[in-house]
Every structure is written in structure tokens, then in C-alpha cells.
Amino acid sequence: MNKIVIIGGSKGIGSAILLQQLENNFVYNISRSAPDISHPNLIHFSADVLCDVLPEIDDIDTLIYCPGSINLKPVLSLSIDDFRQDFEINVIGAVKVIQHYLPVLKRGKNPSIVLFSTVAAKLGMPFHSSIAAAKSAVEGLVKSLGAELAPVVRINAIAPTITETSLSASILRNDRMKENMVERHPMKNYLKAQEVAQMADYLISDKAGSISGQIFQMDYGLVTFKL
């Protein structure tokens, strides 16, 4: 049974990952709100990773950082504080968590880290300048730390397209918008949180022992294909 720390496991993709991992692993969740479930393999710590002192945990094999943001505005409507907040949530929070838990993680069993990017870091998309800039920094962090931490700790990122979660509720708020989003993707679908959780499960497993410093696009063909 591995010991997994999930940051942001109470909602969205983080919640899907937490639910998938609980049956076979021990999970520490750190988020401002508690998950809606209780389980003997779950310990929750209420904390804002940007503001609060992180809890001390003595045994960690895997670290998964899930917090993110969807702040879609024309660049002239974005304030410097918008850019700063997106960068802090997506990059600074991840750095803070990694720095805090890395000494313990290095002693773990086949230790690994999973972060999250976005397809907008690869595909130029209007109104995504703030989140694309922040997630591009996440991708640079993954590649640099992949080299720095080898061969002890693996680190990878998942770059999803739009995923059906509470964070994307305004973008998928009715059937017409959902249909438009399906048609936008060459493979005629968009992501569910459980699909992303399955990719995370693979990346933290021994099956992915050869993989580090990589960004995995889950895009239903959006970035790669032009049909």
C-alpha cells in the first residue's frame, strides 16, 4: 500500500484521483474543503497551500498537485493580479508543496510526482493568455525537475483538454455548449475526470518506471489533429 499525498482532492479531477486511489493506497488529502466521503485509508488536512503551513507527513511515495484555474478573458480585461493569481495557484503552490515534501518523498518507494498543465500551453487559444502562461511554467518545471531529481524521483504532467468538472461548469453549462465542445474535438468528445484519474494512476505506477519529465496531452485530438 503506497502513501499518496493529493493536493486538491476534494473537487474535480483531484476528487476523481482520490476516489480511485483509496481502495489500494493510503491517501493524505490537503485542500481548503474536505472531500465528501470518509474512508479508513483517507486523512484530510484543511489548508490553503498558498497561505497556510503545510502538515508534516512522515511517509510519502507519491505527490499529486491538482489545483488549477480557468480564467478566460481578453488580455486587456486581465489585470496583473489575475496573472499573478493564476501563476501562484498553478506554479508557486506546486513549488511550495514539492519543496516541503521532497526530502520525505525521496525516501519513498519508487517515488513520483504528477502535476497538471493544459492543452492551451501547446495550442494558441484566444482568451487563455493567463492560464497558458502559468501552465507553460508548469511544463518547464516538470522538465527541469525531471532532470534534477533523476534517478530518484520521477515527475510528469498531464495536459487535459476541457474536462467536465465544477471548474468548467460555466463553459459546459448547457447541452448546446456541450455539443459545440464535442464538435470542436476531432475525436468528438471531451474529458471526464475519471479518464484523467486513470492517466494519473498509470503515471504513478511501476508500469511508468521509465517515464519522467514528460507532458501527456489528453486532448481528443484537439492539439494533434486537423480534420
Asked whether residue 157 is domain-assigned, the answer is yes
137 vs 140: CA distance, rounded Å: 5
What pLDDT shows up at residue 172? Answer: 86
- Other CB atoms within a 10 A radius of the CB of residue 48 amount to 11
- The one-character DSSP state at 205 is S
Residue 70 or residue 82, greater confidence? 82
Asked whether residue 126 is domain-assigned, the answer is yes
Structural domains of the chain, count: 1
User: Is residue 12 left, alpha or beta, with left meaning phi > 0 and alpha meaning psi from -120 to 50?
Assistant: left
170 vs 71: CA distance, rounded Å: 11
What pLDDT shows up at residue 53? Answer: 97
Asked whether residue 227 is domain-assigned, the answer is no
Which residue type occupies 96? K
**Residue 147 CB-density burial (10 A; 0-12 exposed, 13-18 middle, 19+ buried):** exposed
Region 89-111: mean pLDDT is 98
Q: Per-residue confidence at 156, pLDDT binned at 50, 70, 90?
A: very high
What pLDDT shows up at residue 105? Answer: 98
What pLDDT shows up at residue 226? Answer: 80
Tell me the Cα Rg of the chain.
17
Cis upstream peptide for 151 (omega within 30°): yes
Mean pLDDT (the chain, rounded): 95
What pLDDT shows up at residue 192? Answer: 95
Asked whether residue 187 is domain-assigned, the answer is no
Interhelix angle 80-87/129-149, rounded to 10 degrees, is 30
What is the Cα 6 distance to its own chain's centre? Answer: 10
Q: pLDDT tens across 52-76, in order?
A: 999 999 999 999 999 988 889 999 9
**Residue 66 CB-density burial (10 A; 0-12 exposed, 13-18 middle, 19+ buried):** buried
What pLDDT shows up at residue 71? Answer: 86
Asked whether residue 140 is domain-assigned, the answer is yes
Asked whether residue 86 is domain-assigned, the answer is yes
* 30 touches 5 (CB < 8 A): yes
- What three-state secondary structure class fits 180? helix
Range of the domain at 149: 3-163+192-218
Q: pLDDT tens across 159-205, in order?
A: 999 998 877 777 888 988 899 889 989 999 989 999 999 999 999 99
What pLDDT shows up at residue 169? Answer: 72
97: domain CATH number?
A: 3.40.50.720
Note the pTM of the prediction, 2 decimals.
Answer: 0.94
Q: pLDDT tens across 34-54, in order?
A: 999 999 999 999 999 999 999
User: Is the pLDDT score of 13 beyond 90?
Assistant: yes
Asked whether residue 180 is domain-assigned, the answer is no
Q: What percent of the chain has pLDDT above 70?
A: 100
Asked whether residue 17 is domain-assigned, the answer is yes
